[in-house]
Amino acid sequence: MNVLGVDIGGSNSVVAVADQSGSIFTHKQILTPNVLGPNLNIDMILTAACQIIQETGKSIDAIGIGCGGPLDRRTGTLHKVANLPSWDGICLTEIFEDITGAPAFLDNDATAAAMGEAAFGSGKGLANFVYLTVSTGIGGGIIINGKPYRGHGENAGEIGHTKIIPDGPPCKCGDRGCLETLASGTAIARIAKEGLADNPDSILNDALNERDGLTARSVSVAAKKRDIYANKIWSDAMYHLGLGVANVVNILNPELVVIGGGVASAGEMLFKPVTEVVNQRAMKALADDVKIAPSHHGDLIGVMGAIAVALEGMQG
């Protein structure tokens, strides 16, 4: 059995052809900037998918698609996705089924990534663990008894919207003080920009002139170079991320928390402080139980998740 995995993001998407063991024959990354709107972006993703299917010469038995929620898994349709607002109402499974003739399955990207970790990653064989993506937003996927836990309305895992500072900054969700407003890539860049005028000596001022502007990556890079202002912004974000993880640890007593997404590519700059905060703030027995680690699949965890969604879909 061969499957197509499609990982759709707010700025990048990835397609991959893999076999049923999750071994990728080939994959392709596509820039899908939100400003281009859904039609053009979907066309580019479909073109890339057809290209890699042709290249590998495999016939595709199933398609898995991971995308930010909220979405309706049963109909394969997106609702008002926070990072893809204009995609509301698009039935992604139908589009991919029409092109390839194979059945397509849609799932929340963080849940998909958790399924990818469970099937092909460090979550293999573990009963209870959590996947957290720290990227444009912050999303969570929960595995319980080796299966994705979805909750009553299939919206479990909104760890990015747990309240870390009850009267903190406003959030896209309509509330305030959510983890996502304090530790996502978007938040780190926003907070850094807010205080930049008062910190003229910070090397972050130079980042404004770079092609991508001042991003979370600029902050982690400058913090690593011991820029005092960048270090303060980064440390605060890691402190808040650690508090969010500590709360999840106290509630779920997981064996593993895998952290992925663009911000996690900072590596030890993220994992060291976050682990320290969890050790300090979660209950001792629960902190002792948990390992906090990056995904073995790095940037490909999203598409590995989509591949797991396709394989689970075929199992019924």
Residues that bind a copy of itself (CB under 8 A): 70, 127-128, 140, 142, 144-145, 149-159, 161-166, 173-175, 243, 246-248, 250-255, 280-286, 288-290
CB 143 to a copy of itself: min, Å: 12
How far apart CA 7 and CA 302 sit, in angstroms, is 6
Residue placing its CB nearer to a copy of itself in the complex, 40 or 127: 127
Residue placing its CB nearer to a copy of itself in the complex, 97 or 289: 289
CB 265 to a copy of itself: min, Å: 25
Distant-in-sequence, close-in-space partners of 213: CB < 8 Å, separation ≥ 6: 189, 207
CB 79 to a copy of itself: min, Å: 9
> What separation, in Å, do the N-terminal and C-terminal C-alpha atoms of the chain show?
15
CA 310, 68, 102: angle at the middle one, nearest 5?
A: 25
How far apart CA 204 and CA 271 sit, in angstroms, is 22
Write out the two tokens for 286.
Answer: 């629960």
Residue placing its CB nearer to a copy of itself in the complex, 153 or 200: 153
For residue 206, CA distances in Å to 171, 201, 212 come to: 28, 10, 12
Residue placing its CB nearer to a copy of itself in the complex, 175 or 299: 175
CB 152 to a copy of itself: min, Å: 4
CB 263 to a copy of itself: min, Å: 20
How far apart CA 64 and CA 4 sit, in angstroms, is 6
- Residue 141 β-bridge partners: 131
Residue placing its CB nearer to a copy of itself in the complex, 107 or 227: 107
Residue placing its CB nearer to a copy of itself in the complex, 35 or 285: 285
CB 118 to a copy of itself: min, Å: 15
Cα 61 vs. chain centroid, distance in angstroms? 26
Cα 96 vs. chain centroid, distance in angstroms? 22
How far apart CA 106 and CA 77 sit, in angstroms, is 8
